[in-house]
Amino acid sequence: MLKSRILKPLLDKLLKACLLSLCLIPSAWADDSQPLYIEINEKPITTNIKQEHHYQLGLRLPASYKLNNLPTIILPDTCQQQSLPSAIGAANRSSATQSQKHYRCQQSLSGQAIQIRFPQFNPSSSTLIKYRALNGEQHTRLLSPSESSWILPLAETPSRIIQDYTVLGIQHILAGTDHLLFVLCLLWIAGSLRRVLITITGFTLAHSFTLVLSALEWVRLPVPPVEAVIALSIVFLATEIIKDNKKTLTWRYPIAVSSSFGLLHGFGFAAALAEIGLPQTELMTGLLFFNVGVEIGQVVFALVVLAAAGLISRIIMPRFNNVKVQHAARFGLAYLIGGLASFWLVERSVGFLG
């Protein structure tokens, strides 16, 4: 009985201490998890010197930072501070310390590095940097505790956007095996150069139309079903090639098929462009020249296919006088394409149906 009277108060105190510790831990975690926040805003020029660039640098420190280990934000050597830091709000606010600095730079910060340095040690916290340029561009970057610098993105200019997005379009179409196989089947069915030009033109106009609609978010379709239907379009063309019935609509008017399925392929291109991201200030330029790059890659692929087909028909095929061998070689490739596309169809369908 005496033991219970002694142990019960001790257990109650121990329980209260544990509960208090559990309550304090989340708040400590919250303070430690706060990132260092840096905001850089480009300001309009207030002088007659057009080469100058004015910036306002805002800094918000986590409450866990020690006063003897506050970070210094280092801008390029071409920048000079214009005023001393001015406190914003209560200086002893428990959540964070905020300050602002104004800089005058001889060059734009675009494409240049900013650095974060601590006088003693890195407190192992992440850093969130937000950069706003005068032309409306906004960029955000979260640096890990091991990163102490960031190179600000280059400013968007029409020439740079034209170059970058044309190359991105070419790279995308040449890396898109499903799109290339669809174009290969179209070329196979079209046959003559005139019909090839008409068919490819229909495909180009169709996918360009839906690419614009989807990229501008005027029309939205879920990506997985679109990818599955793109695989289905290849299966359809491979089946038409295997059947070899020249009286069907596909063989008589390949532009009808290329245009119809081209609308869906445009949504596929738009999904890839969404992952890359459109320019903030040169939206239409980026959209236009990504599409131009896709067409350049498509034309290059078509020329290579036509050249290879001509080489095979003139040099290799005549060596096989047996018609059955030639037939097997042609349609063996169609079966291979159809089988690969069927695998993609099942795989992509399971992805969103399962």
Q: Are residues 201 and 81 in the same domain?
A: no
Q: Are residues 61 and 185 in the same domain?
A: no
Output phi, psi for 183, to 5 deg: -65, -40
Count of domains for the chain: 2
Q: Are residues 129 and 166 in the same domain?
A: no
Cβ neighbours of residue 116 under 8 Å, at least 6 residues apart?
Answer: 36, 38, 71, 72, 73, 74, 127, 143, 148, 149
Q: Are residues 69 and 194 in the same domain?
A: no
Q: Determine the pLDDT at residue 20.
A: 47
In order of 17, 43, 159, the CA distances from 57 in angstroms are 44, 10, 29
Q: Are residues 111 and 176 in the same domain?
A: no
Rounded CA separation 107/194 (Å): 54
Whether 64 is covered by a domain: the verdict is yes
Q: Are residues 137 and 177 in the same domain?
A: no
Q: Are residues 163 and 46 in the same domain?
A: no
Output phi, psi for 71, to 5 deg: -75, 155
Q: Determine the pLDDT at residue 28.
A: 42
Which of 135, 151, 167 marks a domain boundary? 151
Segments of the chain with pLDDT less than 70: 1-33, 46-47, 49-50, 83-97, 316-326, 354
Q: Determine the pLDDT at residue 197.
A: 87
List pLDDT tens digits, range 120-160: 888 888 999 999 998 889 999 999 988 999 999 988 889 99
Q: Are residues 261 and 333 in the same domain?
A: yes
Whether 217 is covered by a domain: the verdict is yes
Q: Are residues 109 and 175 in the same domain?
A: no
In the structure, how many helices (H) and strands (E) does the chain have?
Answer: 9, 10
Q: Are residues 92 and 204 in the same domain?
A: no
Whether 7 is covered by a domain: the verdict is no
**Cβ burial, residue 310 (10 Å; 0-12/13-18/19+):** exposed
Task: Calculate the CA 192 to chain-centre distance.
Answer: 38
Whether 106 is covered by a domain: the verdict is yes
Please, are residues 104 and 80 in contact by the beta-carbon 8 Å criterion?
yes
Q: Are residues 261 and 309 in the same domain?
A: yes
Whether 11 is covered by a domain: the verdict is no
**Quick check: helix, strand or coil at residue 232?**
helix
Q: Determine the pLDDT at residue 8.
A: 52
Whether 9 is covered by a domain: the verdict is no
Please, are residues 116 and 71 in contact by the beta-carbon 8 Å criterion?
yes
Task: Calculate the CA 276 to chain-centre distance.
Answer: 3
Cβ neighbours of residue 294 under 8 Å, at least 6 residues apart?
Answer: 169, 170, 172, 173, 207, 269
List pLDDT tens digits, range 149-168: 999 998 888 999 999 999 99
Q: The domain containing residue 146 runs over which residues?
A: 34-151
Structure tokens given for 279: 């320019």
Q: Are residues 238 and 138 in the same domain?
A: no
Rounded CA separation 148/141 (Å): 12
Output phi, psi for 130, to 5 deg: -120, 125
Which of 151, 169, 191 marks a domain boundary? 151
Amino acid at the residue 328:
A
Whether 285 is covered by a domain: the verdict is yes
Which of 123, 151, 179 marks a domain boundary? 151
73 closest CA partner among 116, 30, 113: 116
CATH number of the domain at 122, please. Answer: 2.60.40
Structure tokens given for 145: 């505790």
55 closest CA partner among 69, 44, 66: 44
Rounded CA separation 264/4 (Å): 77
Structure tokens given for 30: 């919250």
Whether 25 is covered by a domain: the verdict is no
**Quick check: helix, strand or coil at residue 277?**
coil
